[in-house]
Amino acid sequence: MPQETARNNIMASNALPTPKPGILDIAPYVGGKSKSASGKPVVKLSSNESPLGASPAAIAAYNETGKSLHRYPDGNAALLREALSGVFGLPAERLVCGSGSDELIGLLIHAYAGAGDEVLYPEHGFLMYKIYAQSFGATPVTAPETNLTTDVDNLLKALTPRTKMVFVANPNNPTGSYITKAELVRLHAGLPSHVLLVIDGAYAEYPEHHDYSDGRELVDQFDNVVMLRTFSKIYGLSALRLGWAYAPAHIIDVLNRIRGPFNVSAAAINAGAAAARDTAFTQKAREFNSKWLPWLSSELSGLGLKVYPSLGNFILVKFPGGKHSAANANLYMMEHGYIPREVANYGLPDCLRITIGLEEDNRAVAKILADFMKS
């Protein structure tokens, strides 16, 4: 066809730019609500944010950054990696930072799984594993859980020659459950060496159980394990979007090749470094959670509700159904000024996830749900 005719044919078409196959099959991530339908002021307990906010040192570092907004950030986030290295005792050159751990989940899947590959995770795993797998053309695969807990045997049974990655959040969101260090080791031992195990420690600062591990020893020892962490939860820096990965050198190299050159803002680097170094503030947030998590769990159990044991900064509560359904409890809490998280999209339509709030909020939630159960 002469070039001119071909061009005319193309111009005559009304076709829209079309996304690649599979993109329109993705159900967009729905974040925790922050407003009630009526617009009445509400307390947000829907995104597992820290009720204590951020460390004053982090806020000061954030404000200080305002003086140099015209400068690009350090593309290697050296200040932050050095701070993390000092606090966690990990080599700075084996750390990479991202715009939230979400970005790092996406970069890992982008790099290691594509069309024809499977990305495996537990039944009630964090939704971004599925969304990123789909967006890079890979197939998300789930393995059944037992008692809303990651089941290592089921994950190992679900492996196929196409499995490229396994994601396990420990503790898991939205269930709050965890697997022990011994179980993580057993999971890793059952994986072929070419399968990448990603241990997502978004809530790793909270557990106090002696048999819990954030998985760093596995990253120390093996070439196919990555640990992810976030500043969005205990550090109270959700708004800045900041996460980090501890990984083998060959994976750090890959992530550094594909990430944006300035993927972490200067404000996030500076505030993150200050937050990481303020270990007294982190300890205070941990102790606060260790007091109010069992308190709220026990109050709600006392109402006859099923509260799943949680090692995070939130609880998963099962409602009996009928007029006391999770959907009605959600509406009731919203009417009374509190927003929990509906988790039907995690396959848990009978449950609500509730973040541990300030003392007055926890007390209010217990009272509101007691009234709801009497209604």
Stretch near ligand PLP under the rule CB under 6 A, chosen from 97-105, 112-120, 265-273, 281-289: 97-105
Nearer to ligand PLP, 178 or 372 (CB): 178
In whole angstroms, what separates CA 304 from the centre of its chain? 29
Q: What is the dihedral of CA 73, 78, 84, 89, to 10 degrees?
A: 170
Stretch near ligand PLP under the rule CB under 6 A, chosen from 33-41, 89-97, 99-107, 205-213: 99-107
How many residues line the site for ligand PLP (CB under 6 A)?
13
Nearest approach in angstroms of CB 13 to ligand PLP is 39
Stretch near ligand PLP under the rule CB under 6 A, chosen from 100-108, 115-123, 254-262, 303-311: 100-108
Site for ligand PLP in 290-309 (CB under 6 A): none
At 125, phi and psi to the nearest 5?
-75, 165
Nearer to ligand PLP, 101 or 270 (CB): 101
Tell whether residue 272 is a contact of ligand PLP (CB under 6 A).
no
Site for ligand PLP in 183-212 (CB under 6 A): 200, 202
Best CA proximity match to 353, nearest among 37, 5, 47, 9: 47
Tell whether residue 100 is a contact of ligand PLP (CB under 6 A).
yes
The β-bridge partners of 302 are: none
Which residue in 106, 122, 243, 357 binds ligand PLP (CB under 6 A)? 243
Nearest approach in angstroms of CB 101 to ligand PLP is 4
Which residue in 65, 213, 230, 270 binds ligand PLP (CB under 6 A)? 230
The CA distance from 170 to 214, in Å, is 7
Stretch near ligand PLP under the rule CB under 6 A, chosen from 59-67, 98-106, 155-163, 357-365: 98-106
The CA distance from 298 to 281, in Å, is 26
The CA distance from 357 to 119, in Å, is 34
Please state whether 316 falls in left (phi above 0), alpha (psi between -120 and 50) or beta. Answer: beta
- Structure-block tokens of residue 232: 């969005």
Tell whether residue 106 is a contact of ligand PLP (CB under 6 A).
no
E strands, 9-127, in order: 43-44, 95-98, 118-122
CB 172 within 8 A of CB 310: no
Site for ligand PLP in 150-179 (CB under 6 A): 169, 173
Nearest approach in angstroms of CB 102 to ligand PLP is 3
The CA distance from 205 to 214, in Å, is 9
Cα(first)–Cα(last) distance of the chain, in Å? 75
- Residue 25 CA neighbour count, 13 Å, CB half: 13
The CA distance from 91 to 84, in Å, is 9
Contacts of 339 (CB under 8 A, 6+ apart): 32, 33, 34, 35, 36, 42, 43, 44, 45, 46, 333
Tell whether residue 330 is a contact of ligand PLP (CB under 6 A).
no
Please give the residue whose beta carbon sits closest to ligand PLP in the complex: 100
CB 95 within 8 A of CB 245: yes
Which residue in 65, 101, 282, 289 binds ligand PLP (CB under 6 A)? 101
Site for ligand PLP in 117-136 (CB under 6 A): 126
27-66 footprint of ligand PLP as x/- string (CB under 6 A): ---------------------x------------------
Nearer to ligand PLP, 206 or 292 (CB): 206
Q: Which residues bind ligand PLP (CB under 6 A)?
A: 48, 100-102, 126, 169, 173, 200, 202, 230, 232, 238, 243
